[in-house]
Amino acid sequence: MHAYLGENDTLLVIIVSYLTGEQEKSLISIFRKEKEAIGWTISDIKGISPAIVQHSIHLNDDVTPKRNPQCRLNPIMQDAVKIKILKLLDNGIIYAIPNSQ
């Protein structure tokens, strides 16, 4: 679930879907009351210089970025990657994105 805390559909927050209606209302009211504490943009984060968190990739002027074609893994490597991904999912390090392939 998602909710907007600001006027004109601004300040988006995403909330887990398994909360009860009362828990959602309570959480949203806390977010609205304390919305200044959340860093919505880099400039909102107090005490951290934007120069520290921003980075850029310097490219030569005569070079154009290109995308390499996707390659297939052999069956043994597919199994190894699948085991590793399932382990990361189980430990909560990564999460599944709905409607992805």
Task: Encode pLDDT of 4-32 as tens digits.
Answer: 887 787 888 888 888 888 888 888 888 88
Q: Residue 3: how many CB atoms within 10 A of its CB?
A: 15
What does the pLDDT read at residue 80?
Answer: 93
Tens-place pLDDT, residues 20-68: 888 888 888 888 888 777 777 766 667 777 677 776 777 788 888 788 8
What the block records as the tokens of 61 is 């002027």
Does the pTM surpass 0.75? The reply is no
What does the pLDDT read at residue 51?
Answer: 72
- Written in H, E and C, the secondary structure of 58-71 is CCCCCCCCCCCCCC
* Token pair 């992805």: residue: 100
Determine the Cα–Cα distance for residues 10 and 38; give it in Å rounded to an integer. 13
